[in-house]
């Protein structure tokens, strides 16, 4: 879907707009869809934010929004293979990532596909 030309990303929007994956992502953040279909919509984010004493219009930092998205993902389960793992102390605990059922990804530091 992405092409490189002289060091710049060029997106084939016509091809992208007709892909199933793109439409699925758009439906997950669609503000006109409430509940599971629009799992990550602004309405659902605002509603779930009330649990963390954040009211509509208040700023979310990276920690609070990741907790809200994690909870929305647990509540609605919009994708079978999507897991959101939140670490509040800035460290990544690979045993917790594995326990969440996340698949291994390429580790750029060790140059291998394992954690």
The predicted model scores a pTM of 0.69
The answer to whether the Cα torsion of 69, 74, 77, 83 is positive or negative is positive
Q: Which two tokens stand for residue 81?
A: 């293979």
pLDDT the model gives residue 110: 53
Kindly report the number of other CB atoms within 10 A of residue 26's CB atom. Answer: 12
Average pLDDT over residues 79-98: 82
Q: With beta carbons less than 8 A apart as the criterion, state whether 38 and 31 touch.
A: yes
pLDDT the model gives residue 86: 84
6-45, pLDDT tens digit by residue? 555 566 777 777 788 788 888 888 887 777 888 999 999 9
- Number of C-alpha atoms within 13 angstroms, CB side, residue 111? 0
Q: With beta carbons less than 8 A apart as the criterion, state whether 72 and 45 touch.
A: yes
The rounded distance, in Å, linking the Cα atoms of 22 and 11 is 13
Distance of CA 89 to the CA centre of its chain: 20
Residue 94 has pLDDT above 90, yes or no: no
For all residues of the chain together, what is the average pLDDT? 79
Provide φ and ψ at 56, rounded to 5°: -55, 130
Q: With beta carbons less than 8 A apart as the criterion, state whether 30 and 23 touch.
A: no
Q: Which two tokens stand for residue 100?
A: 């969440």
């Amino acid at each position: 879907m992405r092409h490189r030309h002289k060091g710049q990303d060029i997106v084939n929007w016509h091809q992208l707009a007709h892909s199933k994956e793109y439409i699925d992502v758009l439906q997950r953040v669609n503000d006109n869809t409430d509940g599971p279909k629009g799992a990550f919509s602004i309405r659902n984010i605002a509603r779930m934010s009330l649990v963390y004493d954040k009211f509509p219009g208040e700023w979310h930092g990276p920690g609070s929004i990741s907790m809200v998205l994690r909870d929305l993902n647990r509540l609605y389960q919009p994708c079978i293979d999507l897991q959101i793992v939140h670490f509040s102390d800035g460290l990544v605990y690979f045993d917790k990532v594995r326990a969440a059922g996340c698949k291994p990804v390429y580790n750029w530091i060790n140059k291998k596909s394992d954690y």
